[in-house]
Amino acid sequence: MRGLYNLVLLARPSHWLKNVFVLAALLFSREVTDPRAIGLAAVAFAAFCLASSAIYALNDVLDRKEDARHPVKRERPVASGRTSVGAAVALGVLLMVSALAVALTLPCPFLLTLVAYLVVTLAYIGGLKRIAVLDVLLIALGFVIRAYAGGVAIGVPVSPWLILCTLTLALFLGFAKRKSERVALGEAAAETRLIEWQAYEDKALDHMMTVSAALAIATYMLYTVSPEMTTHVVRPWMFLTVLPVVYAMFRFYRLAIAGRVTGPVEMVRRDPAFVGSLVVWVGMVAVILFV
């Protein structure tokens, strides 16, 4: 029973939260009232949950030595020795095959998109994550693929604005994670993540975070007042949703530079104010789009 529990931990179900980007197209296309679209989006979400869990399992195998030197990651199943390398690899392969099997129930373009996600993420964990800046770009590309796949699954065009918003937000989250790691671990960060840390010195990371945060906010602002949005929604009130977005971004920024948070999942777990801003944003979007 304990072994099964460790395999569940290895799949990191709490990180399935990141796959909500698959549902973005469902929300902004206003197809959320269509039962068929909801069903297709749910299947797409499940496929990406399986695929991302497969990557987490394989990544933990590849990073087991570095994780063992990390004050928190050393408790992961493979790094701690509670789960064998063979069992972790078998789980990763099983989850990947399951993700592809689920994807076969959706249109062919979705399957190709999921394969693209697997190729990108496998390249990332296979060694490209050790190249500074490229590592964050690949993480951001993974989020972009999620957002695009959501539109493909339900058969709606994916707005370039949605892609840009996802890209810039993911870049900010990636750089913020690197900043938080550097602040929290100091020189020990080089022992727990093998990357070109000289490219991620403090001032450089500060600039990367600031620029990506500004781009994310500006892109979202432009999206809310774009002809595509105002025509689609009829009334141009979407710009009001910028308020909780700005608050959430700045709060994440402040906690990241203090080394107190490493990602959105941890923010959801630890920071009620951040969660509250997300709830307010979802509520405002729902009212504007559907009421």
Residue 79: what pLDDT? Answer: 87
Given 124, 158, 192, which residue is the final one in a domain?
158
Query: Same domain, yes or no, for 194 and 251?
Result: yes
For residues 19 and 146, membership in a common domain is answered with yes
CATH number at residue 133: 1.10.357.140
Our CA dihedral for 17, 20, 21, 23, rounded to 10 degrees, sits at 170
Are 240 and 173 in a shared domain? yes
One domain for residues 132 and 268: no
Structural domain ending residue among the three candidates 129, 158, 187: 158
CA dihedral 95, 177, 239, 237 (to 10 degrees): 40
Domain count, the chain: 2
Among 130, 158, 186, identify where a domain stops: 158
Kindly state whether residues 205 and 291 are assigned to the same domain: yes
* Whole-number pLDDT of residue 195: 75
**Residue 144: predicted pLDDT:** 96
Per-residue pLDDT at 264: 79
Give residue 212's pLDDT: 95
Residues 183 and 229 in one domain: yes
Can you give the pLDDT at residue 178? 86
Angle of helix 242-257 relative to helix 160-185, nearest 10 degrees, comes to: 20
- Confidence (pLDDT) at 196: 75
Give the pLDDT score at 171. Answer: 94
Whether residue 264 sits in one domain with residue 250: yes
**Same domain (yes/no): 69, 88:** yes
Q: Are residues 113 and 252 in the same domain?
A: no
- 167 & 288 share domain: yes
The residue ranges of the chain whose pLDDT is under 70 are 1, 187-192, 194, 232-235
d(CA 276, CA 215): 23
pTM of the complete model: 0.91
Q: Within this chain, do residues 226 and 270 fall inside the same structural domain, yes or no?
A: yes
Domain hosting 189: range is 159-291
Q: What is the pLDDT of residues 36-57, one digit of tens each?
A: 999 999 999 999 999 999 999 9
28 in the same domain as 153: yes
